[in-house]
Amino acid sequence: MPVDEQSDSVYERAGFGAAVPRGSRPALVVVDLTRGFTEPDFPTGADLTAEVTAAASLVAEARRHGFPVIYTAIAYTPAEADGDSVAWLRKAPGMRALREGSDAVALDPRLDRRDGDHLVVKKGASAFHGTALAALLSGLDADTVLVCGATTSGCVRATAVDAVQSGFDTLVVREACGDRAQRPHDAALFDLQAKYADVVALDDALAYLEETADRRTLTQPALADLGDVPATSRWVTSGPVRLHVLDYGPADGVPVLVLPGITSPAVTMDFVARGLTDLVRPLVLDVRGRGLSDDAPDPSHGYDLASYAADVDAVVEGLGLRDPILLGHSMGARIAARAAVTGRLSLRGTVLVDPPLSGPGRGPYPTTLDAFLGQLGQARRGTDADEVARSWPRWPRREQELRARWLSSCSRAAITATHAGFESEDFFDDWPKVPAPTFFLYGGASPVVTAAGAAEAAERNPSAEFAEVPDAGHMVFWDRPDEGLAALREALGKLLS
């Protein structure tokens, strides 16, 4: 962006050009990339192929991480286009061609608008003027707005200025903004950078979306949930990773180390732990990358079964747990199996609940990564029990509320790497070697452990005892709390006898 050095020094002396804070809840506003602006065959347009391509990459990245995408378009009714009621059209009569329903106001076909995206139709330069955009952004709990589109000197500039005036920190993405001529484009970006927004490179904007997507968050209401949990927080280190454990006591009880699933912080298994305290001493681990535990120092290698099993070893040793029982659900069941076969621990037994049976040469894990990340994106934008209920309608209300408040504490990298592990690490490499006594609980309606899968598991480890929880899906305890807990208590009772 060409900058006159004298102008630059004058602006610097005046105290302009400070860096804009970047929040944790961005939204992308794509301004007026409609055919009337992006195609040179329209009188109001120019060839904005490069800018549309850049904007499309922003849209794809925002959508991949679950951040809101908002398109804007100028469109006039016949009365507005042909009449004298819109002052702007008296100054810029060429804009009268932007009529409702015409090709000129259609979104550029190179952009992929989907049902979950928003569209704001406007009559003026700013996407905020006379629209509900500010209310929409507030409703989406956005704190930072990324702006791109056309034209830089007109609608992009007006929208960026009004974004700041509406209370949002604002970034303008240079390569994704276009104009009909270079000089007004450069002048607008210079002024925006000086007074209103950070003008950033496309790579910077993409990196910001990526980094922000894996920024784990916990709200005050989530932390307050711990006040209702009858457990003591314990801390253990596994290498450089600090691990949090909820210890339900009693201190002289047989320890049962509970290992939750891929998107389940420890607190979400509180209702299971409470139902066991008369039998055993439940201790529920915040698996690394979830809840209050640290992230892996190297996300590319720190979320495999070996790393998770090493954490189990560290918890058992660090808390002095003698001959514990390992109880794992889903991902946690895989971790329990791996920890049991390493031979490093003296265990009273294991209980594996609906472990993912996917792996190399097998079918994919039934829940896609996009589904997990979509739910994570909802949580980081701010979700509630009603929205959670649309994905998990059978769960008790309290469990829906806890998921709404605690899912945002899960690391995107942890979810992504663990999901990949469901298909690259074979459960059946460990399962035949899991020593007795071991119990295998599964949901009768689970898509993760099918009837065929349960039969293979029984064949591969004949010493294991199996129990089906009728009508339960993969989330056994959540789908059928009473029946799931009864089956678990029966298994634990046998391990204690």
181 burial class (0-12, 13-18, 19+ CB within 10 angstroms)? exposed
Could you give the 3-state DSSP secondary structure of residue 333? Answer: helix
Closest CA to 286 of 301, 270, 271: 270
In total, the chain counts a number of residues equal to 497
> Nearest to residue 480, comparing CAs of 350, 353, 363, 362?
353
- Can you name the residues that pair with 27 across neighbouring β-strands? 145
- Is residue 403 within 8 Å of residue 430, measured between CB atoms? no
Residue in 396, 414, 415, 410 with CA at minimum distance from that of residue 482: 396
What distance in Å separates the CA atoms of residue 31 and residue 8, rounded to the nearest whole number?
Answer: 28
Q: Half-sphere exposure of 419 toward its Cβ, with a 13 Å CA cutoff?
A: 17
Contact 209, 67 (CB under 8 A): yes
Query: In 155-313, which ranges are E strands?
Result: 169-178, 198-200, 232-238, 241-247, 255-259, 281-286
How many whole angstroms separate alpha carbon 208 and alpha carbon 218?
20
155 has catalytic annotation: yes
Query: DSSP secondary-structure letter at 226?
Result: G
| Angle subtended by helix axes 331-341 and 305-318, to nearest 10 | 70
What span, in angstroms and rounded, lies between the C-alpha atoms of 331 and 269? 14
CB 419 within 8 A of CB 369: yes
How far apart are the C-alpha atoms of 353 and 283, rounded to whole Å? 16
Q: In a 3-state reduction of DSSP, which class is residue 288?
A: coil
Which residue is catalytic, options 148, 155, 177, 410?
A: 155
Q: Please name the residues in contact with 168: beta carbons below 8 A apart, sequence gap of 6 or more.
A: 137, 142, 143, 144, 145
Q: Which residues are catalytic?
A: 155
